[in-house]
A and B are shown apart, each in its own frame.
Chain A
Amino acid sequence: MSELLVPHYPQITGVHPPMDFPDYRSTALRHPTQPLQVLPQRLTEITGPLLGESRVGPTDHDLTVQHDGEPFGQRIIVRGRVLDTRGTPIPHTLIEIWQANASGRYRHIGDNWPAPLDPNFTGVGRTMTDAQGNYEFLTVKPGAYPWKNHDNAWRPAHIHFSLFGRAFTQRLVTQMYFPDDPLFSQDPIFNSVRDVAARERMIATFNLAETKPEWALAFDFDIVLRGPDASVFEEEDDDD
């Protein structure tokens, strides 16, 4: 090889929540206590899985048509763009989502909350961003649910999002919340993000212009992954 030109994805501090956050009790035994070792970004870090169409079925983006009947609840469109911190759209990248049904229950063997299961709702979606980084899901608004973390603890309504970007450094799992949720103030997972502006980036925006008359409300949720530095560095190798 004559040279390696690789991007670098700078660390952005103060955005992600601390791994140790006592208000969210389950962090107590699940956070590292030793200092993290610095891992320089080399080939393994600046590459990553470019997962494609083979992971996405034709109805995976529409969580309301995956069964014979329609799920209960308020139909919603969730749409947005996947960008990096430089504002560059990330095209053709896999997005995975999962959520509770309209009554706040997950189709999961471990969910014992006695809210009704919906036979017509699995709560799992997948899609790819298009060439401009846009994505869209059709689903129903998930319900809030109790979770025993603290006295009278309820999770605000949320949808889990999993994204890959194009590099190992860009991998992100996050949650999308809904505007004006009265449960925000008591939720330690939402509030584990200490920077107020960063926390608010997890809240979708209601979009009246994109609602479908007599059909569905629309919410915008842009997701921003770590971006490459403005410059690339160059490595010379005289062996070539």
Chain B
Amino acid sequence: MTEDFGLTPSQTVGPFLHIALTWEDGNLVVPRDFPDAIRIVGTLYDGAESQIPDGLIETWQADPEGRFDHPDDLRGEKEPPEGFIAFGRATTLDGGHFEIVTAKPGPLPAGGGEIEAPHLNVSVFARGMLDRVVTRIYFSDEPEANAVDPVLNSVDPERRSRLIAEASAKDPATYLFDIYLQGEHESVFFEL
């Protein structure tokens, strides 16, 4: 890297991000009637456990077969399922609450014979945050895959559950995943 191409620094999205970064269908990674569609619902909290209504949650994930429709996924071209767009964007305008409608991703090769369990990568933006933070969403009904996931296994066992969305007792197609920026329940955030 030379000085000429120095990285542009991150800045906060500020409190008015929603005029530009809200898409009407942004939180629909798949249409609501997609086969086996799931909902991931949660609330974004600050360090006082107050709900954050000026945040944005973005998700990125493989398709149900564990593929990315992207030139750097070199496992061979494969069209994603009709209606699947891999990227989700949900605001927390509704009192800190967010909802992503998606399909559960497939497992992924992690190299060295290891397999990553089904997961979504998550970016969190908000006023008061000078850079995004990154976490992951795994699934409570994938205990065997989660048990051998190299990323989950790199996390302190006591904090591992904070990366796992719990299937709702009332509706197994709904998963609950709250995000705490700090405090007693602080989410697990990643450096990448």
Closest chain-A Cβ to B29's Cβ sits at a distance in Å of 10
Contact code string B1-39 (vs A, CB < 8 Å = 1, else 0): 111111111111111111111010000000000000000
Pick from A24, A46, A201, A227: contact of B72, CB below 8 A: A46
B106 to chain A minimum Cβ distance, whole angstroms, is 11
Interface residue A135 (Cβ < 8 Å from any Cβ of B): no
Partner of B1, one of A86, A96, A107: A86
State whether the Cβ of B140 lies closer than 8 Å to any Cβ in chain A: no
Q: Chain B: which residue is nearest A155 at the CB level?
A: B14
Which residues in window 133-158 of B have CB below 8 A to A? Answer: 133-134, 136, 150-151, 154-155
> SS class of chain A's interface: helix, strand, loop or mixed?
loop
Q: Tell me if B4 and A7 are in contact (CB < 8 A).
A: no
Chain B residue with the shortest CB-CB distance to A46: B72
Which of A69-77, A165-173, A208-216 is the interface stretch?
A165-173
Report how far A85 CA is from B23 CA in the complex, Å. 30
Range class of the B interface residue count: 35 or more
Given that A24-B130, A29-B46, A160-B20 are contacting pairs, would A49 and B60 also be in contact in the complex, using a CB cutoff of 8 Å?
yes
Which A81-138 residues sit within 8 Å CB-CB of chain B? 83-87, 96-98, 106-108, 110-111, 122-126
* CB pair B190 A43 closer than 8 Å: no
Complex CA gap A47/B13 in Å reads 23
Say yes or no: is B188 at the interface (Cβ < 8 Å to chain A). Answer: yes
In residues 97-139 of chain B, which contact A (Cβ within 8 Å)? 108-112, 116, 119, 121, 123, 125-134, 136
- Please give the residue numbers on chain B whose beta carbons come within 8 Å of chain A beta carbons, in ascending order: 1-21, 23, 46-48, 50, 52, 54, 58, 60-62, 68, 70-76, 85-87, 108-112, 116, 119, 121, 123, 125-134, 136, 150-151, 154-155, 159, 181-182, 186-192
Residues of chain A touching chain B, judged by Cβ–Cβ distance below 8 Å, are: 1, 3-7, 11-12, 15-19, 21, 24, 26-34, 36-51, 55, 83-87, 96-98, 106-108, 110-111, 122-126, 160, 162, 166-169, 171-175, 189, 192-193, 195, 197-199, 201-202, 223-227, 235, 237
